[in-house]
Structures are given as C-alpha cells and as structure tokens.
Amino acid sequence: MLEKWDEAISLLQSIQTEIKSLNIVIHNRTVDERPKEFVLVPFKGSEIYLLHKALIDSGGAPGETYKSLFDKTASHLANKNQKGFSTESLQKCSDKVDPEARENVKRFLMKMIRNIDSY
C-alpha cells in the first residue's frame, strides 16, 4: 500500500515540476510571441497597395521591393473589415485598383503635403 502512495506522490511532484516550468516559459515570452498589434488604417486593400507602390516607386524605401515591403508591413495593418493582410492578398489588390482608389490615395497624399507645409 505504501508503494502506491509513493508512486502517487512521485507522479504529483513530477506534475508540479512541469507546471512550474510552464509558468516560467509563459512569463518569459519573447517579443515575437506576444499578441500582434495592428495599425488601424482607413484604407481598402487596393489603396494600401497603391500607397506601398508609390513609396517604392518614389524611392522612399531604397533597397525594398513591393514584395519585401508587403512582407514587413502587411500583417501589421488593419482596417474596419480585416485585421492583418497577407503579401499575396495585397499583390492581388493590384487588379482591384480603380479610379476611386487612386483618387482617395491622391487626396490623402495631398492632405499629408498640406500638413507638412504647416509644420
């Protein structure tokens, strides 16, 4: 009978050790394991695509390609319909660019220019 109690105690001590190890792992998470934070933007996917394209084409991110910039930024952007974009979804947005999207991006960039002039 005592052997069974010793086995039970040993098993419970092993479980307790594992729980302590898990607590240490959970409390020492790295930055990459933390919940993802998003930058909320008022743009549709096609407008986000145009803003990235304009940044690359104007030389605002030397050494980057469309894909590399999408890889670095897309998953951190959110709008009212979507939290995080994929590189592939933004590349597909090139087919969805319409005159309204172009006009919205132009208006936004013009507003940025006006703001810079007032600083």
pTM: 0.69
What's the pLDDT tens digit per position in 72-96?
A: 999 999 999 999 899 999 999 999 9
Q: Residue 78: helix, strand or coil by DSSP? A: strand
DSSP H/E element including 117: helix 99-118
* Band of pLDDT at residue 108, cut at 50, 70 and 90: very high
* Alpha carbon distance 20, 17 (integer Å): 5
- Average pLDDT of the chain, as a whole number: 87
Give the lowest-confidence range in 4-13, 37-46, 51-60.
4-13
Contact between 102 and 111 under an 8 Å Cβ cutoff? The reply is: no
CA distances 57 to 51, 53, 60, 69, 74, Å, are 10, 6, 8, 12, 18
